[in-house]
């Protein structure tokens, strides 16, 4: 028994030490610096209390970044869950080459976000404009990533294309837990496909729907790589997310302490949104 306990400690303590050193300790240091005026380079700094936190709510760049991030997150979360559920329903049906299609749809999840972003950047900047000119489409002839009004759509397309893969697998796993006897019984009662979906499939997928909604929203709120690869936050600041603002301002703009305060606030915002999602969606699960 003692040897087994020692083995447990040997497996867990190194992992805890590494987690604390590379995750918890830097987070604590970031919170500490958020109460200072440190620029990230100087050897000296002063404590300023909650001044950074107060200034965050007066900064138009921060507020605009929050608006863009929330708009992006809501649209991406809805699209990912709707499309991934439809794809999962198709992949769960009796079709030929089912395993092949499952592998194809999961492929975007294992690709690097930056590589995917650069590929789509080339498509938006070169392929689509040439195609648009050939078919006489003024909209496609212009690079949407260069438009303040439409650049965010390009980021949404990439985010949804890559985010669908993981959610589809989770929905597919949920569909396979539903007994086929329920569908056989409903067909004997004369229920339509639509009625089967709303009365059997969707209620029994409630827990998977909750997980996918929370994960999709969290991932969308933390969008960074797609923006770096596609627009860099431009044109101007039209597609600047909170994560990108924290990175550029903190590590390139000499605002380390200020953006640390921004990061702390955003961390709290993400926790609150995730908690509200879980509370609302789990309540819906019990009502079904």
CB-CB contact of 117 with 230 (8 Å):
yes
pLDDT at 102 over 80: no
Residue 22 located in a structural domain: no
Asked if residue 4 belongs to a domain, the reply is no
Percent of the chain predicted with pLDDT > 90: 47
CA dist., res. 16 & res. 13, Å (int): 5
Q: Mapping DSSP to helix (H, G, I), strand (E, B) and coil, where does residue 252 land?
A: helix
For residue 177, whether the previous peptide bond is cis, meaning omega lies within 30 degrees of 0, is no
Amino acid 276: pLDDT: 92
Give the model's pLDDT for residue 1: 67
Distances (CA, A) of 200 to 182, 195, 197, 211: 8, 8, 6, 19
Identify whether the C-beta of residue 224 lies closer than 8 Å to the C-beta of residue 158. Answer: no
First to last CA, the chain: 46
For the chain, give the mean pLDDT: 88
Instruction: Provide the CATH number for the domain around residue 117.
Output: 1.10.3720.10
What is the pTM (predicted TM-score) of this model?
Answer: 0.89
pLDDT in tens, 40-69: 888 888 899 899 999 999 999 999 999 999
More confident residue, 180 or 85: 85
pLDDT digits (tens, 9 = 90+) for 202-231: 888 888 999 999 999 999 999 999 999 999
- Asked whether the predicted pLDDT for residue 181 surpasses 90, the reply is no
How many structural domains comprise the chain? 1
The answer to whether residue 8 sits within a structural domain is: no
Answer for the pair 79, 156: CB distance below 8 angstroms, yes or no: yes
**Does residue 38 sit within a domain?**
no
CA atoms within 13 A on the CB side of 34: 20
Measured in degrees and rounded to the nearest 5, phi and psi for residue 47 equal -80, 135
Percent of the chain with pLDDT over 70: 98
86 domain-assigned:
yes
Q: What are phi and psi of 36, to 5 degrees?
A: -120, 180
Q: Is residue 20 part of a domain?
A: no
Please provide the size of the chain in residues.
Answer: 288
Residue 43 lies in a domain: no
Does the pLDDT of residue 15 top 80, yes or no?
yes
What is the pLDDT at residue 73?
96
CB-based contact 262:63 (threshold 8 Å): no
What is the model's pLDDT at position 288? 59
**Mean pLDDT computed over 12-20:** 90
Rounded Cα distance, 240 and 231, in Å: 9
Where residue 286 falls among pLDDT bands split at 50, 70, 90? low
Contacts from 269-273 at CB under 8 Å and sequence distance 24+? 269/221, 270/218, 270/221, 270/222, 273/217, 273/221
- Band the pLDDT of 104: cuts 50, 70, 90: confident
- Collapse the DSSP code of 203 into the 3-class scheme (helix H, G, I; strand E, B; otherwise coil) and give the result: helix
> What integer is the mean pLDDT of 128-132?
89
pLDDT at position 99 over 80: no
Tokens read off for 273 = 């949104």
Structural domain including 87 reads 60-287
Q: 18 or 187, which is more confident?
A: 18
The pLDDT of residue 287: 63
Q: Is residue 53 part of a domain?
A: no
**What pLDDT, on a 0 to 100 scale, did the predictor assign at position 206?**
87
At 36, is the secondary structure helix, strand, or coil? strand
What contacts 24+ positions apart, CB below 8 Å, involve 66-70? 66/242, 68/152, 68/238, 68/239, 68/240, 68/241, 69/221, 69/223, 69/241, 69/242, 69/243, 70/221
Which of the four pLDDT bands, split at 50, 70 and 90, describes residue 236?
A: confident
Inform me whether the pLDDT recorded for 161 exceeds 90: yes
């Amino acid at each position: 028994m003692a040897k087994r306990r020692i083995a447990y400690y040997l497996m867990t303590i190194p992992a805890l030490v590494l987690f604390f050193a590379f995750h918890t300790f830097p987070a604590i240091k970031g919170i500490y610096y958020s109460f200072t005026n440190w620029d990230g380079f100087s050897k000296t700094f002063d404590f300023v209390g909650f001044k950074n936190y107060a200034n965050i709510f007066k900064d138009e760049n921060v507020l605009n970044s929050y608006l863009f991030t929330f708009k992006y997150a809501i649209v991406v979360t809805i699209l990912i869950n709707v499309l991934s559920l439809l794809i999962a329903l198709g992949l769960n049906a009796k079709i030929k080459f089912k395993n092949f299609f499952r592998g194809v749809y999961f492929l975007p999840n294992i690709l690097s976000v930056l590589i995917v972003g650069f590929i789509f950047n080339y498509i938006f900047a070169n392929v689509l404009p040439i195609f648009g000119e050939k078919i006489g489409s003024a909209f496609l002839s212009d690079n949407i990533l260069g438009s303040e009004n439409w650049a965010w759509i390009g980021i949404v397309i990439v985010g949804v294309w890559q985010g669908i893969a993981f959610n589809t697998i989770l929905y597919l796993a949920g569909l396979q837990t539903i007994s086929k006897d329920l569908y056989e019984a409903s067909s004997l009662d004369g229920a339509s496909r639509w009625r089967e979906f709303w009365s059997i499939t969707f209620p029994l997928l409630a827990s998977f729907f909750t997980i996918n909604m929370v994960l999709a929203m969290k991932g969308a709120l933390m969008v960074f790589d797609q923006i770096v690869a596609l627009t860099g936050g431009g044109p101007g600041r039209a597609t600047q997310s909170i994560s990108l603002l924290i990175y550029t301002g903190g590590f390139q703009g000499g605002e380390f302490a200020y953006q640390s305060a921004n990061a702390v606030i955003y961390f709290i915002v993400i926790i609150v949104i995730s908690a509200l999602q879980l509370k609302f969606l789990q309540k819906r699960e019990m009502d079904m």
